Copies of this chain bind each other. A is one copy, B any other.
Amino acid sequence: MPHSTSSPRLGDLERVVMEQLWEHAGAEGTTVREVHEALAGGRDIAYTTVMTVLDRLAKKDLVSRERDGRAWRYRAAASREALTARTMRMTLDDMDVTDRRAALLHFLDGASTAEIDDLKAALAEVEARHTD
């Protein structure tokens, strides 16, 4: 058995497809055809390939789908930001870090000032949320 982690790892094509879902993110969802057409502009890819990928993403619960007549409409189950956060969290949890502060410190070491500001803003926001 290769991997125990249930980490939502994305392959390259899976990522590209998710991009599409994120970009055309509306409440309506996106069909295979729409995704395929969007991708077919930039690369040579078969319709069924897109179908397969969307199917796999659905099985991983990274996208949800609802019937629309005969077809399916796919929607990203989580925003790009939420998925990113989830993946980061899983890393932190899976790695079984004892000294979390040290890990976070290392993380900040690689951060730009802008990113640190983003983090402080986010931090302030959760704080505020807890207070009110």
Contact = CB atoms under 8 A, between A and B. Distances in A.
Interface size of A as a range:
35 or more
A69 B81 CA distance: 50
A100 B114 CA distance: 10
Contacts of A108: 122-123, 126
A16 B105 CA distance: 24
**Number of copies of this kind of chain in the complex:** 2
Interface-centre pick from A11, A98, A108, A115 (highest chain B CB count, 10 A): A108
Contacts of A111: 89
A8 to B, nearest CB: 10
Interface of A: 1-4, 9, 11-12, 79-89, 91-92, 95-111, 114-116, 118-123, 125-126
